[in-house]
Structure 1
């Protein structure tokens, strides 16, 4: 055997080993679930108009994380209420509004004193309260009772959640604990309801904000999309695919799914070789760098037919001590400075800080074919909840 042939065979063998390692790593991180849609999806069509960036920060806000005692819970909530005001108060978007934080508060962790404080923060113009839930092996009657009771409590005691102007029903955004929307874990844990999308719609949910959940196996095949999912009550993970929200399309299916950016970050590689999964999560070990912000905007999540209105939805777990310095300190402060300098020049980009509810309203305005500045559509269908005050005055809504 010639030396050349040996070298070729050695190179082939090395290539096969490298391929096997890459494939194994991809499956370990469940990238096979969503990579196809990510690679097939085209970037938004270039436009000669300014691109409006709707920036939405959603928080799985869990004061009782790891079974914390009451004093620890209070320290977590008090720190947020004090330091978020200070940090967010230094920033403004194109509409003169500070960053908006959507507090998805767990039903099973309800404590009146914590919600009173968060509602006061929201009342000062810094965000809104929505619904979060961790459950396991649940039943339909219990789910209906739990969500219905919690929505009523949030509205009546804390001024949260709007009423639908047409039906009077309380409406809410939803994030599923443990990422398991519609019983989507392969082992069936942490949900139990194959008809959860139907139940959420009937209970008043206007949209789900759980995704992306990569590298969890709950991640859907659909990536970087805003779409309507239709529930199959006899099967899990019905939101794996859906019909895109598009201009002139109208409501279809059972529930709108609003996804955050998901992709591959080649600029911040693991061990300098493998791309990191960009899943829009903000923590101490994955701070919101300028490279990540650029990637979120470049992903261009949008309503089909409105590529100049893009939605950047990022998420965190805000009360975990090892991450709070990142969320309330310099890393997120710098993120907002970069957003306001790079994506708010009024010529190429216009920045809008939005709550989950406001993002939904602007999505529906785009779907209806509305034109102009999307900031005017923050209350397009659903008004602001009663807790939305500025400077002690009722801002809007009922």
Structure 2
């Protein structure tokens, strides 16, 4: 009996060590917690959103390298996305979360032109460290105005006239969520983001970083406690018939254990919806994203799939702009767009938020109808639509 107990303790200790090596002790309990089975009537609508930590200055590149990165995206992504369509006839929508500290007008002019042609939208990304409230307010408000006024990006709230934006935090450290306090510095960041016009955060999942929340595979509202960090660790789920609460909506991407890909053939890898050369978007991964079942409570027939990448890193560009992502889109369109069991919708971050808000308001049917439900398209989208209409009329 003593020997058996010793083996059990040893095994448990080994498992705990493995969990801590990848910070899995933070989120594994919520991941394993039983959830009510989802019962959807009719086809399941898959809302697919690809968000990008788009950093042309990655690793302190020179200007020629920056330009080459942006130019390749503007050339190759147009070609790739142009070959694919969802159930609504729209190409994949790429959400370019551009870093405030890497602003260069010529790069954003090019990306904005591609977005105006119908291939995505621009949002805000930020890397900062030991920041102050005054500096954060100044730089974020300035950048939001610049994106809207100089590049036709970011929507304007039709009721308040405020420029609105989605947000991704650099180094995953939303609301000062590292134990050592690095890469942020603001315990009231959720409050500041709300006041400055942020409509939702798209940072998560952050695993295996310690910045990962204990809440996984959810869409929820988080209330900021300015006396402590990582207030978004938990929150109130967005539900049909509910209402906005707290300070900021958190829209998470899938986080799971991938038992089909194991380290040393034993330990499952973390599926954190990150796309790069070392983790290409295989059919098994696509299935896992949909299976995660992220939805607004009470609307299980709308599944929200948000994946992410760092698009300007050369080692990963062949994956993101080449055959691996080509195959991903083909699989999505074949497996999840038959019109009977599944209907596929490519959405931007803004459109995903709008559809979440429509579900919260109790609306149903085809989520395509609610792409612009709460926030209208940015100015560049209106201009692009007018130009495309004029070209079609002239043809």
Where on the TM-score scale, by shorter chain, does this alignment land: which range?
over 0.9
Using the TM superposition, name which of 42-51 and 52-61 deviates more. 42-51
Q: List runs of 5+ in structure 2 lacking aligned partners.
A: 391-395
Distance 2:339 2:302 in 1: 14
Match of 2:258 in 1: 265
Measure the CA separation in 2 of the matches of 1:43 and 1:282.
Answer: 29
Q: Does 1:105 align with 2:98?
A: yes
**Aligned CA-pair RMSD:** 1.5
The equivalent of 1:207 in structure 2 is: 200
Q: What TM-score comes out, normalization by structure 2 length?
A: 0.96
Where do 1:343-358 residues align within 5 Å?
343-358=336-351
The equivalent position to 2:280 in structure 1, one of 279, 287, 290, is: 287
Count of residues paired in the alignment: 388
1:182-223 Cα distance to aligned partner (Å, 9 max, x none): 000111000000000000000000000000000100000110
CA shift in 2, pair 1:364/1:64, >3 Å = same
Shift of 1:22: 2.2
- Matched residue SS, 1:387: helix
Q: What's 1:88 paired with? A: 81
Which residues of 2 match residues 208-287 of structure 1 at below 5 A?
Answer: 208-287=201-280
**Cα deviation code 1:31-61 (max 9, x no counterpart):** 1111111111526512231100000000000
Does 1:118 pair with 2:111?
yes
Runs of 5+ in structure 1 lacking a partner? Answer: none
Q: Quote how far apart the aligned CAs of 1:394 are.
A: 7.5
Matches within 5 A, 1:110-189: 110-189=103-182
Separation in 1, partners of 2:196, 2:42: 39
Q: How does 1:10-89 map to 2 (within 5 A)?
A: 16-42=9-35, 44-89=37-82
Question: Aligned pair 1:192/2:182, yes or no?
Answer: no
Alpha-carbon contact 1:208-1:258 (below 8 Å) kept: yes
| Cα distance in 1 between the residues matched to 2:189 and 2:146 | 21
Give, in whole Å, the separation in 1 of the partners of 2:63 and 2:6: 59
Q: Distance between the aligned counterparts of 2:373 and 2:9, measured in 1?
A: 55
Aligned: 1:392 with 2:394 = no
3-state SS of 2:41 partner = coil
Q: Report the equivalent of 2:362.
A: 369
The Cα offsets for residues 326-380 of structure 1, whole Å up to 9 and x where unpaired, read as 0001111100000000000000000000000000000000000002100110000
Name the CA distance, whole Å, in 1 between partners of 2:24 and 2:86.
Answer: 35
Q: Distance in 2 between matches of 1:241 and 1:394?
A: 45
Q: TM-score, normalised by structure 1?
A: 0.95
Q: Which residue of 1 aligns with 2:302?
A: 309
Q: Tell me how far apart the structure 2 counterparts of residues 140 and 189 of structure 1 sit (CA, whole Å).
A: 15
Judge conservation of contact 1:44–1:300 (CA < 8 Å) in 2.
no
